[in-house]
């Protein structure tokens, strides 16, 4: 008996008709489209979206974090490209400054984090706007040590608490003398600040506007961001950029210095000077990062600060030890916002730190004491290098940086501080500059640091690569159209 051949119109055993082939191939095509769509979405997520956009996706769909571009491990460090000169490094532990006048005069540029002009407050969209001239930086004329301008307080100031900074100051008398002791209360909190939660990657602009809010400033962090970092992905806002913003866009004034101490922070808070510090932080779910905070209060009995933290919240509490430990990574830099009428008071409180060059010497002496106490302290060596760059002592700075990098520094270090570029450039180590530039650009996010491209351009130009240098300078300007040094470099090259 011969069975009939099956065809599309045959009836199956269960009484159902066989599905048309078009449905079968349609299903296959749909599966392929879904698969291709998923792959395309992953590519767009990883390669097209900016880090801020990626973060918004992760916040909404947490499992997408696994698809983020790979980053170095949290404990990764900057690569060592030069063997440190042990003799030169150890010589720095015995270096002394006989007097501030012995230091060479350093050309101040934005690349060395000097105070330079920012754009004007109002930008006309139809015209190309040139930066306005910055208000003149106040001359730090020091007042007599007796604080006659300062109000009396009912409680005698306690002696400096035994924090790390205090121990260093005790071991180095000239560091103690640089920051005079003033009468103040055991604890104090300044009211009147307006706290704001930062938007993506915007702690600098948020904290400077919080500090200014103490004087009634009402403009938003978005306004400050537009004037300081027109590219919202910009990973670094320097203290100099914050100072520029205040000086060029308000009736207030600001300055920044390195070499601060726990005692100075408490004194500035007590005398009602808003102060912002830059320090490292390791938020939950993140590794080592740079971060700004506004200091609003202190309590010597509890040994803790009250902080307006734009990420963690208002009235955040941290101990003196926690603050000082993380502040060390940025050479204990601080920004003070003040009214022009109180300038003399502020200089009096700052003591020797009122002079920027002397502040660099003091910061060096603090770091030197820390390196003597613990030669494995990479941040101490790095801070020695940064202070020496400010003082124009580039060969010694290079030795300090080599030692610091050899000991191990967080891989994001050069997102925020660019002293090694300057030191290596000034000593003819152009290839070393380019090696570290390449390392920064190889990390996701490193391409949003305009200073990286600036130093890449400087090194390339020194090596005779004019066309490539122009491209690097243009990239720096495209990241931040207010980057004065990069624009000047292009002008000098006729580009």
Average pLDDT over residues 181-197: 90
pLDDT at 200: 80
Model confidence at 328, in pLDDT bands (50, 70, 90)?
A: very high
Average pLDDT over residues 356-370: 97
Burial of 396 (0-12, 13-18, 19+ CB in 10 A): buried
DSSP per-residue string spanning 32-50: HHHHHHHHHHHHIIIIIS-
Cα separation, 277 vs 296, in Å, equals 11
For 100, the token pair is 């501030």
DSSP per-residue string spanning 361-422: HHHHHHHHHHHHH-TT-HHHHHHHHHHHHHTT-HHHHHHHHHHHHHH--BTTHHHH--HHHH
Pick the CATH number of 428-495 from 1.10.287, 1.20.120, 2.40.128, 1.25.40: 1.25.40
Residue of 29, 69, 7 lying closest to 444 (CA atoms):
69
Average pLDDT over residues 137-148: 35
Number of helices and strands in the chain (H, E)? 20, 7
Question: What value does the mean pLDDT of the chain take?
Answer: 81
Question: Which of 94-108, 130-144, 412-426 is predicted least confidently?
Answer: 130-144
Cα separation, 446 vs 418, in Å, equals 13
Residue of 266, 261, 263, 316 lying closest to 291 (CA atoms):
316
Residue 15: pLDDT above 60?
A: no
Residue 478 contacts by C-beta under 8 Å, 6 or more apart in sequence? none
pLDDT digits (tens, 9 = 90+) for 269-281: 999 999 999 999 8
**87-357 architecture in CATH?**
Alpha-Beta Complex (3.90)
Residue 43: pLDDT above 80?
A: no
Write down the pTM of the prediction.
0.77
Burial of 29 (0-12, 13-18, 19+ CB in 10 A): exposed
Per the rule left: phi > 0, alpha: psi between -120 and 50, beta: everything else, 141 is beta
Residue 136: pLDDT above 50?
A: no
Average pLDDT over residues 198-221: 94
Average pLDDT over residues 381-407: 97
How many angstroms separate the Cα of 16 from the Cα of each of 25, 203, 485? 19, 67, 78
Average pLDDT over residues 8-29: 65
Residue 483: pLDDT above 90?
A: yes
pLDDT digits (tens, 9 = 90+) for 54-101: 666 666 666 666 666 667 776 677 888 878 888 998 999 999 986 544
Residue 119: pLDDT above 80?
A: no
Residue, of 434 and 77, whose pLDDT is higher: 434
Burial of 354 (0-12, 13-18, 19+ CB in 10 A): buried
Residue 123: pLDDT above 50?
A: no
Average pLDDT over residues 200-210: 94
Model confidence at 431, in pLDDT bands (50, 70, 90)?
A: very high
Q: Pick from 25-29, 67-71, 177-181, 293-297 the range whose average pLDDT is largest.
A: 293-297
Q: What stretches of 264-323 adopt beta strand conformation (E)?
A: 275-281, 289-299, 304-309, 313-319
Q: Where are the domains of the chain?
A: 21-67, 87-357, 428-495
Model confidence at 447, in pLDDT bands (50, 70, 90)?
A: very high
Residue, of 366 and 77, whose pLDDT is higher: 366
pLDDT at 22: 80
Q: What stretches of 66-211 adopt beta strand conformation (E)?
A: 187-189
Q: Decide if 265 contacts 305 (C-beta within 8 A).
A: yes
pLDDT at 418: 97
pLDDT digits (tens, 9 = 90+) for 289-327: 999 999 999 999 999 999 999 999 999 999 999 999 999
pLDDT at 142: 35
């Amino acid at each position: 008996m011969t069975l009939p051949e099956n065809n599309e119109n045959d009836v199956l055993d269960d009484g159902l008709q066989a599905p048309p082939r078009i449905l079968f191939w349609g299903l296959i095509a749909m599966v392929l489209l879904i698969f291709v769509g998923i792959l395309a979405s992953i590519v767009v997520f990883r390669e097209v979206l900016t880090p801020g956009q990626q973060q918004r996706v992760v916040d909404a769909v947490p499992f997408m974090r696994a698809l983020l571009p790979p980053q170095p491990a949290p404990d990764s460090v900057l690569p060592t490209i030069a063997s440190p000169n042990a003799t030169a490094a150890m010589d720095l532990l015995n270096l002394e400054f006989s007097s501030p006048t012995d230091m060479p005069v350093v050309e101040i540029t934005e690349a060395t984090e000097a105070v330079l002009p920012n754009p004007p407050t109002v930008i006309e969209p139809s015209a190309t706007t040139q930066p306005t001239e910055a208000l003149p930086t106040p001359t730090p004329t020091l007042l007599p040590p007796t604080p006659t301008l300062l109000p009396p307080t009912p409680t005698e100031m306690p002696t400096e608490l035994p924090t790390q900074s205090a121990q260093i100051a005790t071991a180095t008398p000239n560091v103690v003398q640089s920051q005079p002791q003033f009468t103040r209360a055991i604890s104090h909190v300044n009211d009147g600040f307006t706290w704001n939660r930062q938007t993506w990657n915007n702690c600098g602009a948020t904290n400077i506007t919080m500090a200014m809010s103490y004087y009634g400033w009402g403009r938003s962090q978005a306004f400050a961001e537009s004037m300081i970092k027109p590219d919202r992905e910009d990973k670094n806002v320097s203290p100099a950029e914050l100072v520029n913003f205040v000086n060029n866009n308000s009736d207030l004034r600001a300055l920044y210095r390195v070499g601060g101490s726990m005692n100075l922070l408490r004194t500035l808070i007590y005398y009602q000077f808003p102060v912002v510090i830059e320090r490292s932080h390791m938020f939950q779910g993140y590794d080592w990062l740079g971060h700004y905070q506004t200091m609003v209060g202190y309590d010597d009995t509890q040994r803790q600060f009250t902080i307006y933290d734009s990420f963690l919240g208002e009235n955040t509490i941290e101990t003196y030890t926690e603050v000082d430990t993380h502040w060390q990574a940025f050479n204990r830099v601080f920004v003070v916002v003040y009214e022009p009428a109180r300038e003399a008071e502020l200089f009096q409180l700052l003591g020797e730190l009122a002079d920027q060059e002397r502040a660099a010497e003091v910061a060096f002496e603090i770091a030197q004491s820390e390196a003597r106490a613990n030669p494995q302290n990479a941040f101490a060596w790095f801070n020695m290098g940064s202070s020496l760059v400010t003082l124009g002592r580039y060969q010694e700075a290079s030795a300090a940086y080599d030692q610091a990098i050899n000991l191990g520094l967080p891989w994001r270090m050069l997102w925020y501080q660019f002293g090694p570029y300057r030191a290596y450039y000034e000593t003819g180590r152009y290839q070393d500059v380019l090696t570290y530039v390449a390392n920064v650009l190889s990390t996701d996010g490193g391409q949003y640091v305009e200073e990286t491209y600036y130093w890449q351009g400087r090194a390339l130009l020194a090596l005779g690569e004019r066309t490539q240098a122009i491209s690097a300078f243009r990239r720096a300007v495209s990241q931040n159209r207010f980057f004065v040094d990069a624009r000047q470099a292009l002008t000098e090259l006729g580009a």
